[in-house]
Chains A and B, each alone.
Chain A
Amino acid sequence: MNTAGRDKGMQPLLEVENLVKTYSRRRLAGSGEGVRALDGVSFSIFRGTTLAIVGESGSGKSTLAFCLACLEKPTSGAIRFEDKDIVTLSEKDLRAIRRQMQLIFQDPASSFNPRWGVGEILIEPLALQGNLGRDEMRTRAHALLEQVGLSSSMEAKLASELSGGQRQRLAIARALMLEPKVLILDEALSALDCSVQAQIANLLVDLQSSCGMTYLFITHDLAMAAHLADEIAVMSKGRIVEHGAPNKILNQPQSVITRELLAAVPRLGFAGTRVAES
């Protein structure tokens, strides 16, 4: 899909160019040296496709997510979203952009108020924007609950009463309330059980085929990255060391980092993995 977009000369939805993010580390005496969390990262994502970013912890994946979601200001470089450079935008203009790029974290439990009901949690982001009436917001909340595989009768439940998988579905529903164009998933499946991971992965695939959602899927799970993504970018020390189609990355890894990552993945010698359930 991605290459198709490129062939037709389509504009990428999101384009990152030479992104650098330096965190300064202050010492007690003298000026501190900087830590380059991102050291010249460039890539582009086309509408309706998935780019997976894989790498060890500390490779800069999460910093990248934060920069894209406009939660951190990059030190230099450009992030073009629909051809607009969002790095230079004012805080006011950023608000409009932020709703179009929603971030989903590893543990949604810590991003919900445990005493709030599911309904309130869903409506809050919209209420903050303040464009819709209460009834309209509720209708949308119901529709989204159904879409992510929770029933609308769950509206009255408390966030703390949900299971891990249900909470992650709710996090996705809340992100979708604002009708974003891009979902940035930062280790969004990592804390879930294998069987629940599969359910949420399927939900992501369904949303992509029904609404043309675009994903930036940040993970250290290479198998899941290969399953979901059209392209994989391997990061190490703030740089992208390898970028290509999943098949290529898995079968003909070029960089040492990718080979190491692949070698570290524990494998299950189970042969029946591809058996389709009737």
Chain B
Amino acid sequence: MGNYPWFAHRHVFLVQFGVLLQHASMGSILEIRDLRVAYRSRNGDLSRALDGVSFFLGPGEVLGVLGESGSGKSTLALSLLGLLPRDSVVASGAVLFQGRDLLKAEPRELQAIRGKNISLIFQEPSVALHPTMRVGRQVRQILDAHGMGDRDELVRRTREVFETLFAEEAERIARSYPHQLSGGQRQRVLIAQAIACRPSVVIADEPTASLDPTTQKEILDVFRGLRKNLGLTMIFITHNPALLSGFADRVLVFYAGRVAELGPAKRVLTSPKHPYTQALFRSIPPLDEPHDAGERSLPTIPPDPNRSFPPRSGCPFEPRCPERMEICKSRDPGFVSLSESHMVSCFRYENQ
């Protein structure tokens, strides 16, 4: 008792919620409120993975979640499905889906929701599939597990899903084993598994990270198609901002387990406001104008000198920020609304 993690005592800005959730009342599918998750290391120390994350997901919307490794992207995906590992501590927050808080749901309830209402597509298709089972059966099993009908119905639905994703090739692919398929085809089988039960929300965690650009584009086109034809609602997690352009409706930028910036994809991707987002985009070499002979170093984000130290007060990006001010060291930046739907967690914009 009394062993609450350090951040559970923190003052919670209710105003932030107000801003973040102002549209939430108009029929959001999924709503995340002030989610704080930490991992307990072997010696009992807690390290924060999510530090007060709030957002909502509207029906038919594609939300791009952008962040570097360790920023909490995958923890977010896992917590939305109640799949957090045992060494994690949920300090506060709620994940509301159809009026239920998934963080408080019983394991059996979660089991029924996973795959059926909310499904997850993992990063590595070669590991996520059973190597000695035909992929058709692997999709059918999911339908079966959620009681989607008798045997004939399962077969019919499986065929339907494969036809959606593979068109004429559907039958051949369904009879194949994972090793007979290419990386892109395997990833499409995972998508088939994820959409088989017609879930309300699909979460994709770096679904194209291991693919080459041509296959990457193919998979993105699959998602675009599904969205158009099935009205798929999606959280697309990635570290590559370029993948989100022309695909996501809104982009949420993560830094150190917090929302640094959230806004319409077009705005965030073409004129980002948070110094972190700006620095991140600058570090990507441009394709259209290759370097001149003399200029070969890319602008990088300087490392955080105090990275391993216990968390401090103030903005988490402050030690690496090219535009830091005195106030950033001591005070937590709240959210500043730049427009009705674009907000940024930075003191720079406070008086504008």
A245 to chain B, nearest CB (A): 9
Q: Is the CB of B68 within 8 A of A270?
A: no
B271: min CB distance to chain A, Å: 8
Task: Identify 25 residue pairs between A and B in the complex whose beta-carbon atoms are under 8 Å apart, listed by A's number.
Answer: A57-B183, A57-B215, A193-B68, A194-B283, A195-B300, A198-B284, A198-B300, A202-B300, A205-B296, A205-B297, A221-B213, A222-B213, A250-B288, A264-B214, A264-B217, A266-B240, A266-B242, A266-B243, A268-B242, A268-B269, A269-B269, A269-B270, A270-B281, A274-B289, A275-B299
Cβ B284 vs Cβ A275 within 8 A: no
Given known pairs A198-B299, A250-B290, A261-B213, the reply for A163 and B284 (CB within 8 Å) is no
**B284-295 vs A, Cβ < 8 Å mask (1 yes, 0 no):** 111111110000
A149 nearest CB neighbor, chain B only: B303
Please report which residues of chain B, range 239-295, place their CB below 8 angstroms from some CB of chain A when the two chains form the complex.
Answer: 239-243, 245, 266, 269-272, 278-291
A277 to B295, CA, bound (A): 13
Extra A-B contacts (18), CB below 8 Å, given A195-B280, A224-B285: A163-B69, A195-B300, A196-B68, A198-B299, A223-B286, A226-B290, A226-B291, A227-B296, A261-B214, A265-B242, A266-B240, A268-B269, A269-B270, A270-B270, A270-B281, A271-B271, A275-B299, A277-B279
Q: Which residues of B contact A274 (CB under 8 A)?
A: 286, 289
Nearest-CB distance from A213 to chain B (Å)? 13
Q: Does A260 contact B (CB under 8 A)?
A: yes
Flag whether A267 is at the interface (Cβ < 8 A). Answer: yes
Q: Which 4 A-B pairs have the closest CB atoms?
A: A198-B283, A227-B285, A266-B242, A198-B298
Measured CB to CB, the nearest residue on chain B to A59 is B212
A56 proximal to B (CB < 8 A): yes
Q: Give the most central of A57, A267, A273: most B CB within 10 Å.
A: A273
Most buried by B among A205, A220, A227: A227
Q: Spell out A's residues near B (CB within 8 Å).
A: 56-58, 163-164, 191, 193-199, 201-202, 205-206, 220-224, 226-228, 246-247, 250, 260-277
Nearest-CB residue, chain A, relative to B70: A163
Instruction: Name the CB-closest residue of A to B208.
Output: A266
Instruction: State the Cβ distance, A27 to closest chain B Cβ, in Å.
Output: 15
- Taking chain A's interface residues, is the majority helix, strand, or loop, or is none over half, making it mixed? helix
* B304–chain A nearest beta-carbon distance, Å: 11
Which residues of chain B have a CB within 8 Å of any CB of chain A? Answer: 68-70, 182-183, 209, 211-217, 220, 239-243, 245, 266, 269-272, 278-291, 296-301, 322
Which A-chain residue is minimally distant from B307 (CB atoms)?
Answer: A163
- Asked whether B280 lies within 8 Å of A194 as measured between CB atoms, the reply is yes
- Docked Cα-Cα span, A271 to B183, in Å, equals 33
Q: How far is the CB of B71 from chain A (nearest CB, A)?
A: 9
With a cutoff of 8 Å between Cβ atoms, the chain B residues found around residue A164 in the complex are 69
Are A266 and B213 touching (Cβ within 8 A)? yes
Task: Tell me which of B209, B215, B245, B288 contacts A56 (CB under 8 A).
Answer: B215
